[in-house]
Amino acid sequence: MSTNHNRVAVVTGGSRGIGRAVAERLAADGLDVVIVFAANEVEAKAAVTAIQEAGGRSHAIQADVADESAVKALFDMTEQLFGGVDVVVNAAGTMVLQPVAELDLDEFDRMHRTNVRGTFVVAREAAGRLRDGGAIVNFSTSVTRLNLPTYAAYAASKAAVEALGPILARELRGRDITVNAVAPGPTATALFLEGKSDEMIRNIAGQNPMERLGRPEDIAEVISLLAGRGRWINGQTIYVNGGAA
């Protein structure tokens, strides 16, 4: 990897939850970080402030990840701010849980627009813009292996993301750019914990041999490796779930 410039990361969905933990970890690793948010500017600015107060450089940019014009503008602005892009983390995503027979197809389309189209749009722009020696990290989910009722549409969207990685990795041959996906298990974010009883959370936590939920920092640790020194990991989906699947 080139060391004659500060490395720069773009993290979609970086204003909260796992995405924010990833943004803060990459900043702690010494990268300049652009936090991409869809709507919640307050949380995005709070994430930027946290990074800056810890001594890092960060900026928040609003963009619809499924809109190719907005994503092009996002990369343009990042290059203007920090000189280039080296790492892209596609953490933006949404989840709809419904049995197939009751699936709201409008909600299905909205989810796939973010999870599938959004990931592909950002990856497409990244493929043409990343500096050599860079990394693309996409987000899948461990539920692609668990066959859980109501998760079919969500799991299908993430299976599409998994299919992207090894193919794009081969298309980027010769540029030393890695493309991988992480597939978290249940992780203790506000979004995950909302609406769940203590008993339900204990039951979910007990499904893996570590007997706890994942923490956003657990996922960020793996992404730090993939974005940095893990150069011999390429075209893979890494399940980060404490052994649940």
Residues marked as catalytic = 154
Chain-centre distance for alpha carbon 33: 14
Query: 92 phi and psi, to 5 degrees?
Result: -65, 135
